[in-house]
């Protein structure tokens, strides 16, 4: 399982895209769903790329919490579930980092979404694939503007995630 | 005769095939301060974890009397376990404020409005000025006092202390010993104190047990244990002539 997660963390996006392409192509096992060149296929590919990253970094941050914490929380009267919640809260910065890393991998990704989405205007074109297209057309100003928007979106989303992390959490 | 709180019978504890503790019989009585003495690696902390019901023995039984019934590691409910609190030799504090750490045990019990109790216990351990400080700014002695405070605030029926003054300066040792003495005198809390310090056991204990190499050598009231030990190994340990 661990080896699978670590392999997934280094999975080249194009390979993930190719895998999803094969799965959802007309001759593939899920071809009958008709998801190829749709948002659904893009979501599947992005999930495949982000999940190992989030799982791997979360696992690393949970295991870095002092193993003596759990019995000490039990000794203070915590139920097993409360002790697990406390450990997760202690690892909160690592978990937050995993979400940001997963989001970063998805928002900056081109290869997989291009393969399984097809970069169809109005349907499956996203900022990254639009940047590639406009650069190829020689519309550098537009490509740069889209790049700035992408950066801005990433900044705003990460800021919201970090603000959300600081509030509304259960603190035993 | 005092009520029995713990009954340890024919207990063996093994880790990785190695037996680290063998106790044929031991009782802990309500309201006593039982000091468990012994050199490093004698099985003192293992005994304390068994008494805290944090682990089950490989053989035998550790029974705890809740006041209404006998329970073991396997049969104790959360409320039964919450009568017991343990302070570890190396306390792991939550990466939050001193106050949040002391409040932890109360919050897991659903006691949300416990500010006054937390403040009172922080005053007792002389940490009221550091209530809002993050634990990473604390010295070793202060951290150990936070660990003691988060146990004392729960007003436990049984307090298990695993070398609470190890590696601390004399001032902190004195303060922690005073707190233990006060807790016992004021609340009648049953205390099991693991220590390797003969002097600390002499100052605090009403009864003393000696563990050597996982074996319970002698258990006796403190005056008799120190003044008229029955076992040659106890005599050697007390005179500092014990050879590992």
**CATH number of the domain that B197 lies in?**
3.40.50.300
Q: Which of A162 and B1 is assigned the larger pLDDT? A: A162
Contact A99, A54 (CB under 8 A): yes
**In this complex, do B94 and A71 lie within 8 Å of one another by their Cβ atoms?**
no
User: Using a CB-CB distance cutoff of 8 angstroms, which residues of chain A are in contact with residue B85?
Assistant: 75-77
**Closest residue in A to B77 (Cα–Cα):** A79
Q: Decide if B82 and A77 are in contact by the 8 Å CB cutoff.
A: yes
* CATH node for A2-166: 1.10.3720.10
Residues B132, B135, B138, B143, Cα dihedral to 10°: 110
Record: contact B92-A79, CB cut-off 8 A: no
Q: Find out whether A87 and A65 touch, Cβ atoms under 8 Å.
A: yes
Residues within 8 A of B (CB atoms), A 69-98 only: 69, 71-79, 82, 86, 89-90
Considering the domain boundaries, does residue B131 fall inside one? no
* B237 burial type by CB count under 10 A (0-12 exposed, 13-18 middle, 19+ buried): buried
Containing structural domain, residue B234:
4-92+156-238
Q: Which residues of B touch A79 (CB under 8 A)?
A: 78, 108
Residue A170 has pLDDT above 50, yes or no: no
Q: What confidence tens digit (pLDDT) does each residue in A27-78 have?
A: 999 999 999 999 999 999 999 999 999 999 999 999 999 999 999 999 999 9
Those residues whose C-beta lies under 8 Å from the C-beta of residue A80, and which sit 6 or more positions away, are A74
Task: Classify residue B122: in a domain, yes or no.
Answer: no
The pLDDT value recorded for residue B40 is 87
In whole angstroms, what is the distance from residue B85 CA to residue A39 CA?
A: 54
Give how many domains chain B has, as a whole number: 1
Look at residue A67 in the predicted model and tell me its pLDDT.
95
Q: CA-to-CA distance for B69 and B66, rounded, in angstroms? A: 6
Pick from A67, A81, A73: nearest CA to B54: A73
The percent of residues above 90 in pLDDT, for chain A, comes to: 81
CB contacts of A74 in chain B (<8 Å) are 54, 81
Do the domain assignments include residue B126? no
User: Given a cut of 70, is residue A169 above it in pLDDT?
Assistant: no
Cβ(B10)–Cβ(B61) below 8 Å: yes
Question: Which tokens go with B234?
Answer: 């106890």
Convert A33-91 into a string of H (helix), E (strand) and C (coil).
HCCCCCHHHHHHHHHHHHHHHHHHHHHHHHHCCCCCHHHHHHHCCCCHHHHHHHHHHHC
Pairwise CA distance, residues A161 & A156, whole Å: 9
DSSP category for residue B96 = S
Sequence-distant (6+) residues with CB within 8 A of B126 are: B145, B175
Q: At which residue do the structure tokens 């948002």 appear? A: A39
* Contact predicate B91/B102, CB 8 Å: no
Q: Which two tokens stand for residue B124?
A: 């007792």
Q: What are the pLDDT digits (tens) for B92-138?
A: 999 999 999 999 999 999 997 789 999 999 999 999 999 999 999 99
pLDDT band of A152, cuts 50, 70, 90: very high
Q: CA–CA separation, B181 vs B241, rounded Å?
A: 30
């Amino acid at each position: 399982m661990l080896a699978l997660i670590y392999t997934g963390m280094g999975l080249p996006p194009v390979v993930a895209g190719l895998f999803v392409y094969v799965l959802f192509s007309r001759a593939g096992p899920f071809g009958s769903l008709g998801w190829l060149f749709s948002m659904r296929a893009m979501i599947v590919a992005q999930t495949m790329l982000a999940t190992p990253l989030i799982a791997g970094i979360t696992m690393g941050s949970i295991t870095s919490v002092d193993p003596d914490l759990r019995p000490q929380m039990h000794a203070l009267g915590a139920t097993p579930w409360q002790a697990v919640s406390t450990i997760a809260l202690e690892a909160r910065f690592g978990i937050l980092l995993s979400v940001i890393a997963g989001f970063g991998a998805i928002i900056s990704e081109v290869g997989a979404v291009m393969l399984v989405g097809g970069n169809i205007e109005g349907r499956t074109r996203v900022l990254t694939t639009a940047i590639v297209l406009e650069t190829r057309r020689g519309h550098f100003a537009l490509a740069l503007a889209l790049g700035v928007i992408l950066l801005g979106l990433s900044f705003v989303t990460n800021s919201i995630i970090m603000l959300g992390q600081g509030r509304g959490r259960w603190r035993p | 005769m005092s009520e029995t709180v713990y009954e340890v019978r024919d207990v063996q504890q093994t880790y990785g095939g190695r037996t680290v503790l063998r106790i044929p019989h031991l009782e802990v009585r309500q309201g006593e301060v039982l000091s468990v003495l012994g050199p490093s690696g004698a099985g003192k902390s293992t005994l304390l974890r068994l008494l805290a019901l944090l682990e089950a023995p490989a053989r035998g039984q550790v029974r705890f009397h809740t006041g209404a019934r006998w329970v073991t590691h396997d049969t104790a409910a959360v409320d039964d376990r919450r009568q017991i609190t343990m302070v570890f030799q190396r306390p792991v504090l939550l990466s939050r404020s001193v106050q949040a750490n002391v409040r932890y045990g109360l919050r897991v019990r659903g006691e949300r409005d416990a500010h006054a109790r937390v403040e009172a216990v922080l005053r007792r351990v002389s940490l009221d000025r550091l209530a809002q400080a993050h634990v990473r700014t604390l010295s070793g002695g202060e951290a150990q006092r936070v660990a003691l405070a988060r146990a004392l605030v729960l007003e436990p029926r049984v307090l298990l202390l695993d070398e609470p003054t190890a590696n601390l300066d004399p001032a902190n040792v004195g303060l922690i010993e005073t707190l233990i003495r006060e807790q016992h005198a004021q609340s009648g809390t049953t205390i099991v104190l693991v220590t390797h310090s003969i002097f600390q056991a002499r100052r605090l204990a009403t009864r003393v047990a000696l563990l050597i190499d996982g074996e319970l050598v002698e258990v006796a009231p403190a005056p008799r244990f120190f003044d008229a030990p029955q076992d040659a190994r106890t005599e050697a340990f007390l005179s500092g002539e014990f050879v590992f």
